[in-house]
Amino acid sequence: MSVSRRDEALVAQTSRREATKSGASTMPVTRELFDSVMVPCFAPAQFIPVRGEGSRVWDQHGRMYIDFASGVAVTALGHCHPAMIRALEEQAHQIWHVSNWFTNEPALRLAKRLVDATFAERVFFANSGAEANEAALKLARRYAHDRYGARRSRIVSTLNAFHGRTLFTVTAGGQAKYASGFGPNPAGFTHLPYNDVAALEAEFAAHADEICAVILEPMQGEGGMTPGKPEYLQAARRLCTEHGALLVLDEIQSGMGRTGALFSYMQKGIVPDILTSAKGLGGGFPIGAMLTTAEIASAFSVGVHGTTYGGNPLACAVAGAVFDVINTTEVLDGVKARHSLFIEGLRAINGRRRVFRDVRGEGVWIGCELDEAWRGKAAAVMNAAGEAGLLVLMAGADVVRLAPSLVISLDEILEGLARLETALNRALT
Ligand SMILES: Cc1ncc(COP(=O)(O)O)c(C=O)c1O
């Protein structure tokens, strides 16, 4: 080999395993830096969270916030849960990434758990909710294409739905504010009003031979915390079965225990053909999954779909630990108990001063629709909550959304509700 001394020395030097000094973790940063270095598609709060423990979060100045938001329904076990830390640390010493040219143990273990606990027989891992939905919609089209021909490509979705931000999923979403300006968008979507059985029946009556799938959230989360009526979800199931279309349930927000069942469909008297999961699945580590039957999965033969990171060992190890904690009767019943506590507390707030026209939801996933007098003020409440030391979400302009950890403590619930009342009093004047 005619390698120069210099090259040899460089190779030796850069293959050493000691940490190199980057200094990145100690670089002082402020919220102002966001506006000068980040793409402006987000408008984050003025404080920067730096540490979390359970349902408490601290900012750069040591101020504590009660977390009723969970990073948008993600940190299902709160922050820094010991079982997740253990799984991550153990896996960090094993192997981080191998790609799908190889399989890996944490991915297989997680897939087996999901298959054993649900209707599904096959799992595809992705990195986010949007990617899980992208896979689901591609699979539905491919399955129909292979079975019935190219004409069967129409996807029926609902107005006000949210399925992610890729071009395909944002088009499925049916909210113009997210989907416009990126055209041409993918064709072949019909958006119907949510919870409207007659509209769904009429669509199938007119176009059954074109429809490959219906995609629904069991409860519309981002779109306003609107629960799917059982009769509507069951009608969707019946129509899909009758006409050979696939029912895709987007359980990205509703799944992994958030409603008090492992997946929401388990309480609705329906079984989907394809289910998507993300958010709580990794409890804070990015991962998505698409679950389906063996027969439908066969339309994704080798090479038809793929991802570099999907099924990453670190993500799957953490998700496995999250799954083991959540999928117990104790934790799932605990979610229902917490629901009652939240509803009682929110009704008490409303009794002292009428601020909500409706409080709805399931498990630890609750929408508080503001009273007529305060329409459009959900963002103001969210900001005031931040000032009062509480993290909450909104679901459209009129709904304050709460999605705390599934294992939030009683003290944290009571402290958070007190802070919410302060925020409501400050914002709604
Ligand atoms: C129901 C639903 N589907 C899909 C998504 C997209 O997930 P992600 O942001 O991980 O791509 C979300 C995110 O809020 C969601 O709530």
Q: Give the mean model confidence (pLDDT) for residues 27-36.
A: 96
Beta strands in 16-170 (DSSP E): 49-53, 56-59, 64-67, 122-126, 154-158
Given pLDDT bands bounded at 50, 70 and 90, which one contains residue 10?
Answer: confident
Q: Is 164 in the pocket of ligand 1 (CB under 6 A)?
A: yes
Q: Is 398 in the pocket of ligand 1 (CB under 6 A)?
A: no
Given pLDDT bands bounded at 50, 70 and 90, which one contains residue 261?
Answer: very high
Atom of ligand 1 nearest to the CA of 166: 11
Q: Is 217 in the pocket of ligand 1 (CB under 6 A)?
A: yes
**What pLDDT shows up at residue 174?**
83
134, 162, 399: residue to mutate for ligand 1 pocket, most atoms within 8 A of CB = 162
Q: Residue of the nearest CA to atom 8 in ligand 1?
A: 129
**What pLDDT shows up at residue 201?**
98
Please state whether 273 falls in left (phi above 0), alpha (psi between -120 and 50) or beta.
alpha
Q: How far apart are CA 320 and CA 118, in angstroms?
A: 15
421 CA → ligand 1 middle, Å: 29
Q: Give the mean model confidence (pLDDT) for residues 243-257.
A: 98
Q: Is 143 in the pocket of ligand 1 (CB under 6 A)?
A: no
CA distances from 196 to 175, 266, 330 (A): 17, 21, 35
Contact status, residue 31 vs residue 47, Cβ threshold 8 Å: yes
Residue 137 predicted with pLDDT over 80: yes
Q: Is 255 in the pocket of ligand 1 (CB under 6 A)?
A: no
**What pLDDT shows up at residue 414?**
98
Q: Is 160 in the pocket of ligand 1 (CB under 6 A)?
A: no
* Residues of the chain above pLDDT 70, percent: 98
279, 394, 401: residue to mutate for ligand 1 pocket, most atoms within 8 A of CB = 279
Residue 307 predicted with pLDDT over 70: yes
Q: How far apart are CA 125 and CA 110, in angstroms?
A: 10
Q: Give the mean model confidence (pLDDT) for residues 161-180.
A: 95
Q: What is the pLDDT of residues 285-300, one digit of tens each?
A: 999 999 999 999 999 9
**What pLDDT shows up at residue 25?**
74
Compute how many other C-beta atoms are within 10 angstroms of the C-beta atom of residue 342.
24
**What pLDDT shows up at residue 21?**
61
Q: Is 221 in the pocket of ligand 1 (CB under 6 A)?
A: yes
Nearest partner of 398 among 369, 426, 421, 425, judged by Cα: 369
Q: Residue of the nearest CA to atom 4 in ligand 1?
A: 163
Q: Is 252 in the pocket of ligand 1 (CB under 6 A)?
A: yes
Q: Is 161 in the pocket of ligand 1 (CB under 6 A)?
A: no
Q: Is 268 in the pocket of ligand 1 (CB under 6 A)?
A: no
Atom of ligand 1 nearest to the CA of 222: 16
**What pLDDT shows up at residue 358?**
98
Across the chain, mean pLDDT equals 97
Residue 36 predicted with pLDDT over 60: yes
224 CA → ligand 1 middle, Å: 14
Residue 403 predicted with pLDDT over 90: yes
Amino acid at 201: E
Q: What is the pLDDT of residues 407-423, one digit of tens each?
A: 999 999 999 999 999 99
DSSP letter string over 279-323? GGGTTTS--EEEEE-HHHHTTS-TTSS--SSTT-HHHHHHHHHHH
Q: Is 286 in the pocket of ligand 1 (CB under 6 A)?
A: no
Q: Is 128 in the pocket of ligand 1 (CB under 6 A)?
A: yes
39 CA → ligand 1 middle, Å: 20
HEC readout, 77-113 = CCECCHHHHHHHHHHHCCCCCCCCCCCCHHHHHHHHH
19 CA → ligand 1 middle, Å: 36
Atom of ligand 1 nearest to the CA of 72: 14
Given pLDDT bands bounded at 50, 70 and 90, which one contains residue 242?
Answer: very high
Q: How far apart are CA 170 and CA 179, in angstroms?
A: 5
Question: What is this structure's pTM?
Answer: 0.97
Q: Give the mean model confidence (pLDDT) for residues 226-247.
A: 98
Q: Is 163 in the pocket of ligand 1 (CB under 6 A)?
A: yes
Q: Is 396 in the pocket of ligand 1 (CB under 6 A)?
A: no
Given pLDDT bands bounded at 50, 70 and 90, which one contains residue 22?
Answer: low
42, 163, 219, 394: residue to mutate for ligand 1 pocket, most atoms within 8 A of CB = 163
Q: Radius of gyration of the chain from Cα atoms?
A: 23
Residue 23 predicted with pLDDT over 60: no
Q: What is the pLDDT of residues 47-106, one digit of tens each?
A: 999 999 999 999 999 999 999 999 999 999 999 999 999 999 999 999 999 999 999 999
